[in-house]
Structure 1
């Protein structure tokens, strides 16, 4: 068993290794589909700590993975960062990541949030939960299954079936309840739509404010962000009328979306790449994921920002995220069959 003290020693030792590597190598080529301005602090702090310069290429996850495939052995990529387990698995299946050994990552990142072959690791999480208009809904759905209840006909807002968050949620329903039940669920949710799927998660929350819908599904960090700072269409008065439910607390638990990364298969600066991933698992970086982007840290015991803590404690779904990722093609087939646009 690794104690808190021994973990700190491992991290301290790693910091020394990072500093030595920085002198020898000096740079890191990062391919990232994370599009948050707050991540700038992560990069600048890592450079300040190590002296390693980060060169970034940012874009859509699928485009970055395709680019790494096309570049092959000549790819300059050292690290791929992306959002959602399905994309991390897609990168692994495409052969653009490599397995690594890291005592720091093994000690810090829970087994459930890392690839079995150590090709990717999760560094932050978002719970996908149910929000509702407290002025109209007195008996909100308490789990995902209930979203298909005819009692909520014409009340539900959700994103399109092409969105990765929609895909992995249905994929988790498949894993937890079986494909047949998942199809019935998806069909029931479509019947309960208040409008055709449209927009991002913030738009689902705005739908509650505008009165277009009474119930919406969104990742927690969009709501927590609005608690922390001004977001167009989500004033403090509007937020006061929105309630939330962490679903399935007496069943599988709340579905989680993972943001993570791995070392590129042909990383020219492999040691620096590992050092960067280890830095992302440090208390400093983990706290910034929460304070800067309103996410849940992947490392247990790291304090939450006020905006995230306001949402309260909950039990997450412990489903195998690798299996969830592999269900995505079946989920898309179900979406097509039930007319979820």
Structure 2
């Protein structure tokens, strides 16, 4: 059978059609899928780009490194700036130059060469009894003898605390940080253990007067949806935003990077840029009571009630460089014993 040129073109188009596909982006994340799904759905609705989400409990860097050049990963998303730095050191990221990202994210909250970007903030704060007169405090003051037997905190080796200790090293050096840790250990009302919510529980129970914890846990406990023990613990406390002397409030972050061998690089950058939009920053706040990384973006009313967050200006990269020393100091002073 002979085909006319018109039929030949039609057949060629027919057979080529299955090869075409809608724009998509592959997201590898260690974040709770339920927190990320509202963001990915909003991105797809806004752009038409489909997001294929692969949720990992841990081992993000190892997974992508093992996949090598054939890795389908486009965007790598995780919590804790130490994990973001680990991705760079593992060689699984690539630099990105984006005016949108650079203008939305303060320089101290992103990699100098564009390998990773913070997307939301988690402040390390102090919980105090709701009727307490305490209205301000420095991190340095946590070691003051006035708090002897009155301080609750989780393990010093937990990433939330090693990052805070690393920030103290960045501000004051190793020797001063060792003394600070010894002072805080002497002030403990109980063994450094448990979780951040336990600090609120133990304030309600009269075990401690103050506790070091993340603000977003307080947001959850003070949420209109909180029930039972969580609600009671939230009602028992108020949140004080500490600062370093001459600095600001310490924050950790959730953040993301573009994978080194991203097959959909343009879409990956487009997703990161969407995640710092006012719309996405508002979704972050509503989903998990995290602060927006973009200055001027809306803050959840519960978080806003804690006061204005003034982020410590020391670059997260500089703080991350002290993680190993911070962990060694925790062991040296027997903080968790």
**What is the CA-CA distance between 1:243 and the residue it aligns to?**
2.5
Q: Distance in 2 between matches of 1:122 and 1:78?
A: 17
Q: Distance in 1 between matches of 2:152 and 2:208?
A: 6
**What is the CA-CA distance between 1:49 and the residue it aligns to?**
2.0
Residues 231 and 332 (structure 1 numbering): CA distance in 2 closer, same or farther, change over 3 Å?
farther
Counterpart residue number, 2:322: 327
Give the length in aligned residue pairs: 316
Counterpart residue number, 2:11: none
**What is the CA-CA distance between 1:313 and the residue it aligns to?**
1.1
User: CA contact under 8 A between 1:25 and 1:269: conserved in structure 2?
Assistant: no
Please give the per-residue CA displacement for 1:80-107, whole angstroms capped at 9, x wherever unaligned. 1111111111111111110012121122
- Which 4+ runs in 1 deviate beyond 6 A? none
1:293 paired residue among 288, 297, 310: 288
User: CA contact under 8 A between 1:171 and 1:325: conserved in structure 2?
Assistant: yes
Please give the per-residue CA displacement for 1:231-290, whole angstroms capped at 9, x wherever unaligned. 552325x43431332112763111111111010111111111111101101111011111
Q: Distance in 1 between matches of 2:236 and 2:198?
A: 16
The normalised TM-score by structure 1 is: 0.87
Q: Distance in 2 between matches of 1:266 and 1:231?
A: 45
Residue aligned with 2:40, SS = helix
After TM superposition, the structure 1 = structure 2 runs for residues 193-232 of structure 1, keeping only pairs within 5 Å, are: 193-228=188-223, 229-232=225-228
Q: Distance in 2 between matches of 1:60 and 1:188?
A: 35
Gaps of 5+ in 2: 1-19
Please give the per-residue CA displacement for 1:189-215, whole angstroms capped at 9, x wherever unaligned. 112222222222222222222323221
Counterpart residue number, 1:41: 38
1:117 paired residue among 113, 117, 134: 113
Residues 132 and 205 (structure 1 numbering): CA distance in 2 closer, same or farther, change over 3 Å?
same
Q: Distance in 1 between matches of 2:63 and 2:81?
A: 19
Q: Distance in 1 between matches of 2:240 and 2:221?
A: 17
Counterpart residue number, 1:155: 150
User: CA contact under 8 A between 1:141 and 1:147: conserved in structure 2?
Assistant: no
What CA RMSD, in Å, does the superposition of the two structures yield over aligned residues? 1.9
Residues 250 and 339 (structure 1 numbering): CA distance in 2 closer, same or farther, change over 3 Å?
closer
Residues 287 and 140 (structure 1 numbering): CA distance in 2 closer, same or farther, change over 3 Å?
closer
Verify: 1:50 aligned to 2:50, yes or no: no
Please give the per-residue CA displacement for 1:301-329, whole angstroms capped at 9, x wherever unaligned. 11212111111113221111101011100
The normalised TM-score by structure 2 is: 0.88
